[in-house]
Amino acid sequence: MLLLLIKKNVLVQNVKLIIEKVLGVKIKDNDGLGTIEEWDSMAQLSILMAIENQYGIKFKMTELKDVTNLASWISITNKKI
């Protein structure tokens, strides 16, 4: 159980760092598409590619329709790894 919690915390931090690197700004836990200027549709594509490359996974476009903020990126990434 502790190992799963540690894995989740690492995932949260890694996804947040990936998004911050793509956007070039620090983000808060409730930030997402439209809440900060840098997070636009092009940034969404860059985030998608960065997460896929980092974890060696591929998302289906249908899976991404509701992925619009940090929490949803963490959730969908967690389901894929």
b/e map of 8-40 (b: 16 or more CB within 10 Å)? eeebbeebbebbeebbeeebeeebbeeeeeebe
What pLDDT shows up at residue 51? 98
51 exposed, middle or buried (CB, 10 Å; 0-12, 13-18, 19+)? buried
Q: How far is CA 9 from the centre of its chain?
A: 13
Tell if the pTM clears 0.85, that is, is over it: yes
Q: Domains in the chain: how many in total?
A: 1
Rg (CA), the chain: 12
For the domain that residue 17 is a member of, what is the CATH number? 1.10.1200.10
Give the residue numbers spanning the domain of 35: 2-80
What pLDDT shows up at residue 9? 87
Per-residue pLDDT reduced to its tens digit, 35-78? 999 999 999 999 999 999 999 999 999 999 999 999 999 999 99
